A and B are shown apart, each in its own frame.
Chain A
Amino acid sequence: MLQVNNIDVFYGNIHALKDISLEVNEGEIVTLIGANGAGKSTLLKTISGLLKPKHGHILYLTQQIAGKPAQGIVKSGISHVPEGRRVFSNMSVEENLELGAYLRNDREQIKKDIQQVYELFPRLDERRKQLSGTLSGGEQQMLAMGRALMAKPKLLLLDEPSMGLAPLIVKQIFEIIQMVNQQGTTVLLVEQNANMALSVADRAYVIETGKIVLSGTAKELQESEEVKAAYLGGL
């Protein structure tokens, strides 16, 4: 479904992603794990069009999307939940969800989909009219995910959904990620919480200083000595 082929991305002079390739097949949850500053977010931003790769191709459903403007990529079915949630804190929960459906014009269906998001996240339903800046971190994460789902994505990019959240909330969020996946959305999940990520994913990649250093099924990586030592608390 998504094929990233040998991309290089620079921030000014900094070579942030070096010759990265990865693949996401339809229906999968693929996770990308790695330490802070390894380039995980950079890769997601490049896929969603916020950054442009200097070299390489990104193929999505046989279409070349590298360097296309972000709105075109959203339209083609890729939604990105950014790191730190980035909800529009000056707007209500409902307005945030409406913005998620910005490119759609089917009003009736949008209303139904908002209801569906509320079913998925009942906490948001209770807070419809509340300014999203007043929500807790977990609720903001739910809102950011709900907002992304409003675009009806085929591929959902999630950037560190567990960041700064209590373990119980993290568990809930991951259950929802699995649920969304079962309903037919492919997921590319970036995480520092390798344990959690590997437990829900089908396949995984490990990224270190801008390079993919390991890849395999989630199970293989869970058992790999290197991964255990570096990311799973060295058991």
Chain B
Amino acid sequence: MEWLQQLVNGISLGSIYALIALGYTMVYGIIKLINFAHGDVFMLGAFIGFYAIARWDLGFFPALIIAMLLCAIIGVIIERVAYKRLRNATRIAALITAIGVSLLIENTVIYFRGASPEAYPEVLSNKSISIFGANISSQSIMILGVTIVLMILLQFIVHKTKIGKAMRAVSHDPDAARLMGINVDNTISATFAIGSALAGAAGVIFGVYYTRIDPLMGVLPGLKAFVAAVLGGIGSIPGAMVGGLVLGVVETVVSALGYSLWRDAAAFVILILILILKPSGIFGKNTREKV
């Protein structure tokens, strides 16, 4: 039952990728920008959660909520300060700005607290539960549960609420959305807020699960979540969820087969393959340029 255990590990890792990938894909869907600072919002979420738990003695859920709220605010600030004025600029200008914002966040954190890693306090009890002979930690189950709840919540927001409908309208056709009376700027801000809140949640979950955080921790998971978003079809919300899970499972399987040094490479091999074989991703539509 080694395999079942690995599968659960893979899904836990994958659900973290999926949470980050959702932010990438939502932002891309609405303003066609790959927000490379998104991985750093994830890192900020991890640190906010850390301080909430270690300094203010809060439990897991209050820390999670605080991290999500603050990350949402940070996301909106990033959008308003750095990206909003570039909305009509070339895409490459916005992309380079995103990389700049990423470096700014990483180095600001390093400036204020140093580059040393931090050990995440244990806030969730970590019992081992035996299911079908596999030892699965209660943490994995908790993480999976939180992720699923967040994803259901996201689906609800996107499909049933007014702001969600506005988000879909703006991502499909901003000018037509304006003609409905939708405030496009506010809708874009809301998208950043929701995407960043999910990244913040992913940061706290990552910290609890892997117990070690540092200011550059967002780089690699950020890139991999980007791969997950491309794999699922960038712009597609179900795509980001599936892409994240697939990536997590693949990585875990590669490690389990004894090639753990190749783990990180696996993600980028997937990226190369998907770009060659099906650039629109699993759930992506073949995009036609609008005339």
Task: Report A's interface with B, CB cutoff 8 A.
Answer: 48-50, 69-71, 74-75, 79-80, 82, 86-91, 95, 98-100, 102-103, 147-148, 151
Contacts and interface: CB of A to CB of B under 8 A. Distances in A.
Given A50-B179, A71-B182, A86-B176, 8 more contacts: A49-B178, A70-B178, A74-B180, A80-B179, A88-B169, A91-B168, A99-B166, A151-B180
Contacts of A151: 180-181
A126 B281 CA distance: 34
A178 B210 CA distance: 67
B290 to A, nearest CB: 9
A103 B166 CA distance: 11
B159 to A, nearest CB: 9
A27 to B, nearest CB: 23
Contact of B173 (A69, A88, A100, A148): A88
Contact of B168 (A50, A80, A90, A103): A90
A74 B173 CA distance: 17
A86 B180 contact: no
Contacts of B173: 86, 88
Nearest to A86: B176
Contacts of A79: 179
Nearest to B175: A50
B168 A48 contact: no
A82 B162 contact: no
Contacts of A90: 168, 172
Contact of B180 (A49, A69, A147): A147
Contact of B165 (A49, A75, A98): A98
Contacts of B177: 99
Given A88-B168, A91-B168, A102 B178 contact: no
Interface of B: 162, 165-166, 168-169, 172-173, 175-183
Given A89-B172, A90-B172, A95 B183 contact: no
A50 B169 contact: no
B165 A50 contact: no
A75 B179 CA distance: 10
A74 B179 contact: yes
Given A86-B173, A90-B172, A70 B179 contact: yes
11 contacts: A70-B178, A70-B179, A71-B178, A74-B179, A74-B180, A79-B179, A82-B176, A86-B176, A88-B172, A91-B172, A99-B165
Nearest to B171: A90
Contacts of A147: 180
A99 B172 contact: no
Contacts of B176: 82, 86-88
Contacts of B169: 88, 91, 99
A95 B166 CA distance: 11
Contacts of A95: 165
A27 B146 CA distance: 57
A147 B177 CA distance: 11
A75 B178 CA distance: 11
Nearest to A147: B180
Contacts of B180: 74, 99-100, 102-103, 147, 151
A71 B175 contact: no
Contact of A71 (B162, B165, B168, B183): B183
A146 B234 CA distance: 32
Contacts of A88: 168-169, 172-173, 176
Nearest to A49: B178
B91 to A, nearest CB: 19
B172 to A, nearest CB: 5
Contacts of B165: 91, 95, 98-99, 102
A151 B177 CA distance: 13
Nearest to A144: B176
A126 B27 CA distance: 35
Nearest to A87: B176
A147 B180 CA distance: 8
A89 B182 CA distance: 17
B168 A102 contact: no
A140 to B, nearest CB: 12
A147 B182 CA distance: 13
B209 to A, nearest CB: 35
Nearest to A45: B175
B172 A102 contact: no
A140 B235 CA distance: 24
Contacts of A75: 181
B178 to A, nearest CB: 4
Contacts of B175: 50, 82, 86
B112 to A, nearest CB: 39
A69 B166 CA distance: 16
A128 B252 CA distance: 45
B181 A74 contact: yes
B86 to A, nearest CB: 18
